Structures are given as C-alpha cells and as structure tokens.
Amino acid sequence: MELRQLGRTDLKVSSLCLGTMTFGEQNTQKEGYLQMDYALDQGINFFDTAELYAIPPKPETRGRTEEIIGNWMQARKSRDDVIIATKVTGRSGMNWFREDGSLTQVNRAQIMEAIDGSLKRLKTDYIDLYQIHWPDRTVSQFGANPVIFRHKEPAAEENAIGEILHVMQELVDAGKIRHLGLSNESTWGTMRFLQESEKGNGPRVVSIQNAYSLLNRTYEVNMAEMSMREDVGLLAYSALAQGFLTGKYLDGATPPGARKTLFKRQERYTTPGADAAIRGYLKVARDFNWDISQLCIAFATTRSFTTSTILGATNLDQLKADIAAHDMGIDEELEKAIDAVHFLHTNPCP
C-alpha cells in the first residue's frame, strides 16, 4: 500500500483510508472489527470517523462509530498502528450533540466539548487529524463546489475563521490534536483558513475531505489547483457515489439492505442526468474489463491532488474488492474513455 504525505506534516497515510460511518448502524461492532483487522493487515493505516457517525445521524447512534473504533484499538492495542481522523459537527439544526441542547456550531465551547467526547469514545489521548465536518458558515449547498449558486444569508452569530483557528491551536498546544483538516469546504473557505494560519493565527490546514467521484468532479474546478499549490490534499469520499456507480439502483431498483433502500436519503444521486452517466461509466468498465467499483476507486486515487480515497463498505467482500484497487493505474486510453463520458454527462450529481 502506497503511503503519501499528509499536507506538510511528517505523517504518511495510506493511499486508501477506511471509512467507518456504517459502524453502529449497518454494521455491528463485530463486523467493524473484521473490517478494521483486514484493512490494517492490508496496509491501511488511516481510519476516518466523526462524532456525527453512525449515518444517518440520529440521537441514539451519535458517537457510536467512535466507540467501536475505540473498543477495537483498546482490544487490539493498536493505537500506535493507525492514524485516526475524526470531525467536529458543523453548523446545523441538530440539538442532540451538546449537553445543553444547543444547535451545533463551530464555536469554542462546542469544539472543546466535542473533542473531549471524541477522545473519550475513541479511548485515546490525541487525534491525529481533527476536521471541521462542514463549514460554520451558511453555504449554498452541502457540497463544496455547487454548480448552481443558492444565496444564503450569513448566520447572525457566525464564528470567524480566525477565532476557530485560535481554538484549534489551543487543542494542538494541549496535545489533544496533532493536525487540522477541513471537510465539505470551498476554495474561498480553505484559502481563508490558510491565510489566517500564515498570519500566525492557528494551525495550518493539511487536508480537505470532499465528495469526489465520476459523477461529481467539481473538485477539479479551483479546488484541485489549491490542493496542489498549497499542499492541502483531497481525502476523497463517495468515490462510488454511495453505491450508485455500481448500477445497483438503476431504473429505480431498491436492493434489500442497500443504503438507499434502508434510509431513502440519497437525493444527491437521483438527479435527471444521473442514470445516463452511470450507464456510460458501466460501459467503460465493461469495455476495458474492469470491475466498476475498482475503476471508480482507482480513478479517485490516481489524481495528483488526492492524498487518500476513503472506502465505505458494508461487508468484508466489498472491502476486499475495494482495497484490491490500490495498485491499479489508469492508462491514457482508459482516461480518454472516462473523459468522453464526462464531457457528455458533466457532474450530474454535485
């Protein structure tokens, strides 16, 4: 498994990262243990989680994923073997994360409460990469690079980026976190974080975790150049577009046990142009004799701006197939075939 530099830090993370948001909802603790054991054995040293998880977010499962990872690290005595990334919840209408029932936002009190909760559940003294799950700002949509701008009025009590960074520096100084990352951010937001840190106001952002797939290549507009020039690599999530790119949901199909069937919250991948694009990429995979899941993962992982691609599997067979894509390359002919579909069906699911 290739190891890649995390930003300008001395950490090297595996080119594939184990996503864990199904632990505690679709996957039991025992199943989570099996995934983590296998991933570590295959050379994956990078696990991603969040105080929000399991998904979908709800009061009874919040923090459960971190608890499962913490139990595993304690049982396996494996804390030193893994680089742990977790997240503080961004601004939202959810009121079950904070003890006083406050709606979430990224202010000092909530960050402090969130980090202590994550440390306790993960049974560790420090977090390697602490990420802001999505902006404290009100943004035009959940994704970082929307193709349609929707005007949003700023929140009345918006927390300044400089103030957020000051709190994160407190956590670094206290030894609770090693590095700071962003998630679901824009180019403007990322650059503002970088500018503030360059003025000496807090830690430098080392990564950004955004959606990136064959159905959503919006990261390549502005964000990719920022990643390359500023050494803020992409941690790509939803490389399989939450399973839609496998074709299992085509023509309105609802396979038993699948995420769309269980939770009915995948509107992002049911846009008018999605099915045509999916069929186009499935044809590319057939023409080149590729497994479609491995094609999607290899595509994300081989981008020069990608630090690591986050895998999300609900069973061990899926995880084994996904990890097998780690050393697969995209040659020029295959790249052209992928781009041909992209030009016809550009970013139908941003």
Mean pLDDT (the chain, rounded): 95
Decide if 214 contacts 189 (C-beta within 8 A). no
Residue 37 lies in a domain: yes
Number of domain units in the chain: 1
Residue 268 lies in a domain: no
Residue 275 lies in a domain: no
Q: What is the CATH number of the domain that holds 52?
A: 3.20.20.100
- Number of Cβ within 10 Å of residue 101's Cβ equals 8
* Active-site annotation holds for 53: yes
Q: What pTM was estimated for this model as a whole? A: 0.96
Answer whether residue 143 shows pLDDT above 70. Answer: no
Catalytic pick among 33, 38, 53, 126: 53
Domain hosting 189: range is 3-242+293-330
pLDDT in tens, 59-104: 999 999 999 999 999 999 999 999 999 999 999 999 999 999 999 9
Whole-angstrom CA distances from 222 to 209, 213, 218, 238, 239 are 15, 16, 9, 20, 19
Alpha-carbon gap, residue 56 to 94, rounded angstroms: 12
Residue 347 lies in a domain: no
| 151 pLDDT tier (thresholds 50, 70, 90) | confident
Residue 282 lies in a domain: no
Answer whether residue 142 shows pLDDT above 80. Answer: no
| 147 pLDDT tier (thresholds 50, 70, 90) | confident
Q: What pLDDT score was predicted for residue 259? A: 78
> Cβ neighbours of residue 113 under 8 Å, at least 6 residues apart?
98, 99
Answer whether residue 344 shows pLDDT above 70. Answer: yes
pLDDT in tens, 219-274: 999 899 999 999 999 999 999 999 999 999 998 888 887 777 777 767 788 888 99
Residue 168 lies in a domain: yes
Residue 249 lies in a domain: no
Residue 124 lies in a domain: yes
| 317 pLDDT tier (thresholds 50, 70, 90) | very high
Decide if 73 contacts 44 (C-beta within 8 A). no
Decide if 165 contacts 193 (C-beta within 8 A). yes
- Number of Cβ within 10 Å of residue 7's Cβ equals 21
**Mean pLDDT lowest among 96-110, 171-185, 187-201, 257-271:** 257-271
**Percent over 90 (pLDDT), the chain:** 87
Answer whether residue 144 shows pLDDT above 70. Answer: no
Alpha-carbon gap, residue 114 to 66, rounded angstroms: 12
Alpha-carbon gap, residue 62 to 56, rounded angstroms: 9
What mean pLDDT do residues 265-285 have?
91
Q: How far is CA 108 from the centre of its chain?
A: 23
What mean pLDDT do residues 139-150 have?
67
Q: What pLDDT score was predicted for residue 146? A: 66
